Amino acid sequence: MTSTLRFAPSPTGRLHLGNARTALVNWLLARQAGGRFVLRLDDTDRKRSTEEFARGITEDLAWLGLDWDDCIRQSARAALHATAFAGLRERGLVYPAYETAGELAEKRAAQRRLGQPPRYDRTALAHDAAERARLEREGRAPHWRFRLSGGEASWTDLVQGPLAIGTAALSDPVLVRADGAATYTLASVVDDLDCGITQIVRGDDHRTNTAVQIELMQALGGTPPAFGHLPLILGEGGAPLSKRSGDWSLDDWRKRGIEPHAIRLCLASLGTDRMAPPETSLAELIGDFDLGRFGRAAAVFDAGQLLRTSRDVFRAEPLEAVRDRPGCAGLTAAEWAILSPNVADPGELALWLAVLHEPFTPIHEDAPLLATAADLLPPVLDNASAAGWLAAVQESSGRRGKALYHPLRLALTGRTDGPKLGDLLPLLGRARVLCRLRGPTA
């Protein structure tokens, strides 16, 4: 059987790193197996789902380098969901319930006050036809719940190992809202079965959903896929990452100049026993990926590690790839060899290229030293003559260490840090060095 995996985000916000890891893991498994990867936009929440967020999700995934073999929207599959629901209703596996959202909230609050877990009490099952008719005459439209068996849903989890959840402790899930729209629970199960999804890997917070979905899939006559539940990613303060709590989105990281491959490497390794090195290619990442490396404990996201990995990934880029970045088109092999150990992203590289090639007003802090340096400048400035020139300036001026290099750096680059000055000099060229040493009036 061909492996078919999916990523099913709700277009109610931008993707954060937790969402991205779910997408990446499923994509890696699909590509490793030569299978299919389906992007499904779970837009059954009509109030919060927007086209802007849907577009943002596809843009984020494309930037991350994750392609898909099919893209579907749940909102376009309402007829399929309705047919599945009709079959459940005909078999008496669902029942109408008439409580309002406020009444249900009051019930949950009362249960919490008693120290009980919030669970629907199945009051609606006691309603006979006359009572249901009375409620509907009052203007109440029913929502429809799936009656759980009360047994045990068990599976061998791809990450956690053998798991079992008793459904007697769970609320009968709502499958159809009072307005007639299918909920996530029904739509997700029907679409997973219809698309032939073979594996579902997602966050550990979905365990209870899995128990419910297994029962519903079986009620619909389908075979549940293999499930895997990854430990949650915790942010600062120990709270799980969430798009509702304002955690940094992929779009935020992209705007910060983070390399998408750095995100792939970090997320594929987060919660495992090892980190892939920055020179790991995407093909190598696919081939080496192993779901069995993930532990069971929650993993803490380290923003500093992502920044360091992004820096190292960028520095490992070949010249041809770097030239495609904004502001880096004219980069030479010699420049990349000297600058790469000193830049973390294309923005920093572009700034250094501007230092090398664009005019600027030099900073002159030590005019006598700069005049001596200009007088001693050799007719040809290459690696060998540059070293000799610096030694000659030191000897003639009596300046050493910071007293020598700091004024020269400011005059030649306008900066106090960067590559070795002797390495930069041949890149600047004699004419530019001389002009900057003597100042704008030279």
Q: Where are the domains of the chain?
A: 4-74+186-230, 80-152+159-176, 237-315, 319-357, 367-438
**Could you give the CA distance from residue 206 to residue 194 in angstroms, rounded to a whole number?**
21
In this structure, whether the domain defined by 237-315 belongs to CATH 1.10.1160.10 is answered with yes
Q: Classify the phi-psi angles of 257: left when phi > 0, otherwise alpha if psi is within -120 to 50, otherwise beta.
A: left
What pTM was computed for the model?
0.89
**4-74+186-230 and 237-315 agree in CATH topology:** no
Nearest to 62 by CA among 252, 257, 260: 260
pLDDT at residue 238 in the model: 74
Class of domain 80-152+159-176: alpha beta
Q: What is the pLDDT of residues 130-179, one digit of tens each?
A: 999 999 999 999 999 999 999 999 999 999 999 999 999 999 999 999 99
Q: Looking at the DSSP assignment, which residues form a beta bridge with residue 226?
A: 199
Cβ atoms of 29 and 199 closer than 8 Å: yes
3-state SS, the chain, equals: CCCEEEECCCCCCCCEHHHHHHHHHHHHHHHHCCCEEEEEECCCCCCCCCHHHHHHHHHHHHHHCCCCCEEEEHHHHHHHHHHHHHHHHHCCCEEEECCCHHHHHHHHHHHHHCCCCCCCCCHHHHCCHHHHHHHHHCCCCCEEEECCCCCEEEEEECCCEEEEEEHHHCCCCEEECCCCCECHHHHHHHHHHHCCCCEEEEEHHHHHHHHHHHHHHHHCCCCCCEEEEECCEECHHHCECCHHHCCCEHHHHHHCCCCHHHHHHHHHHCCCCCCCCCCCCHHHHHHHCCHHHCCCCCEECCHHHHHHHHHHHHHCCCHHHHHCCCCCCCCCHHHHHHHHHHCCCHHHHHHHHHHHHCCCCCCCCCHHHHHHHHHHCCCCCCHHHHHHHHHHHHHHHCCCCHHHHHHHHHHHHCCCCCCCHHHHHHHHCHHHHHHHHHCCCC
Give the other-Cβ count within 10 Å of 232's Cβ: 19
Main-chain dihedrals φ then ψ at residue 302, nearest 5 degrees: -115, 105
Q: What is the pLDDT of residues 408-439, one digit of tens each?
A: 999 999 999 999 999 999 999 999 999 999 98
**4-74+186-230 has which CATH code?**
3.40.50.620
Q: Looking at the DSSP assignment, which residues form a beta bridge with residue 121?
A: none
pLDDT at residue 442 in the model: 42
Measured N-to-C along each axis, helices 184-194 and 78-90 cross at an angle, to the nearest 10 degrees, of 100
Main-chain dihedrals φ then ψ at residue 96, nearest 5 degrees: -80, 145
| Full pLDDT tens readout for the chain, 442 residues | 789 999 999 999 999 999 999 999 999 999 999 999 999 999 988 888 999 999 999 999 999 999 999 999 999 999 999 999 999 999 999 999 999 999 999 999 999 999 888 999 999 999 999 999 999 999 999 999 999 999 999 999 999 999 999 999 999 999 999 999 999 999 999 999 999 999 999 999 999 999 999 999 999 999 999 999 999 998 777 777 765 444 578 999 999 999 999 999 999 999 998 888 999 999 999 999 999 999 998 988 999 999 999 999 999 999 999 999 999 999 999 999 999 999 999 999 999 999 999 998 899 999 999 999 999 999 999 999 999 999 999 999 999 999 999 999 999 999 999 999 999 999 999 999 999 999 865 4
**Could you give the CA distance from residue 341 to residue 317 in angstroms, rounded to a whole number?**
11
**Could you give the CA distance from residue 260 to residue 64 in angstroms, rounded to a whole number?**
5
Class of domain 367-438: mainly alpha
Nearest to 143 by CA among 191, 104, 90: 104
Unique residue bearing structure tokens 């579907």: 72
pLDDT at residue 247 in the model: 58
**Could you give the CA distance from residue 245 to residue 48 in angstroms, rounded to a whole number?**
16
pLDDT at residue 440 in the model: 63
**Could you give the CA distance from residue 19 to residue 41 in angstroms, rounded to a whole number?**
13
Cβ atoms of 124 and 145 closer than 8 Å: yes
Q: Looking at the DSSP assignment, which residues form a beta bridge with residue 96?
A: 144
pLDDT at residue 106 in the model: 93
